[in-house]
Structure formats: C-alpha cells, structure tokens
Amino acid sequence: MIKKIVLRITILIIIIFGFIAFGLYLIEIDDHYGDLQEIYFETKSGDIIINKQTKEFGVIAKNWKRADIITKENDTLDLNEIIYKNQEESKYEVFRSEQKFIIGELNYKKILELKRRNVLETIIKN
C-alpha cells in the first residue's frame, strides 16, 4: 500500500516538473522571438527563408532553442536579424521542398523561379 502511494506521488511530481519545464521552454521561445515564434514552430531545418524587401535569403538551421539562418556568404544570422531591418518587420516568405539545395548555388531569382515551377512550397508568408 505504501509503495503504491509513494509511486503515485513520484509520478505526479515528475509530471508537474515536466509541465513546468515545458512552460519555461515556451516562455524562452516567446521571449526571444516574440511575434516570430510562429516561424520557429512551423519551420524545419533545411527550409528556405527570403526577405522580399532586401532580397536576402538563407537556409534555416534549427536546434531546440534557436532558429539560425545560414546565408550564401556562410554567415549565421539569428531569425530576427533577417526579418527585422531598421526595427521594422520586413516582408518575408518561408519555403519547403523535398529536394535539398546547396545554398551557394541559389540566388534570389532562382528561388522565385523554383517557386513559380512549384518546386518550393510556401509554408509561411506575410
């Protein structure tokens, strides 16, 4: 009887700590990305993101806390750096494809051509 009570209390404590940890993780993402958290949650590593106003683009590389953008110049930018220019949100679009692309072989016009031929699927757009 005592073993069952201890086991139930232990399981309950583990579940409570799990919810707390998950909540803190979501708060961390919200604090860092704010309005861009939709991009963080909806994209996968390998997706292509373009800034329509500056014509910058890159491939998204995600880990459990951050979404970095690898540009053609092999720079690693945070998601905020490619979207926000002069403290204003730029127009952007995120694409996904079954094919893998080498970032060095892409340019802005080629990405738009691939979109027109339906090789790239639009995931998020503003």
Tokens for 78, please give them.
């945070």
Q: Provide the whole-model pTM.
A: 0.81
- If pLDDT is split at 50, 70 and 90, which confidence band does 3 have? very high
| CA–CA gap between residue 100 and residue 116 (Å, rounded) | 17
Query: 40 with 79: CB under 8 angstroms?
Result: yes
* pLDDT at residue 7, as a whole number: 95
* pLDDT at residue 126, as a whole number: 86
Tokens for 115, please give them.
């979109």
Nearest to 103 by CA among 62, 65, 64, 60: 60
Q: How far is CA 95 from CA 43, 47, 89, 122, 125, in A?
A: 9, 6, 18, 5, 9
The average pLDDT across 38-50 equals 91
Tokens for 83, please give them.
């979207």
Query: Has residue 21 got a pLDDT over 90?
Result: yes
Q: Which helix (H) or strand (E) holds 94?
A: strand 92-96
* pLDDT at residue 57, as a whole number: 92
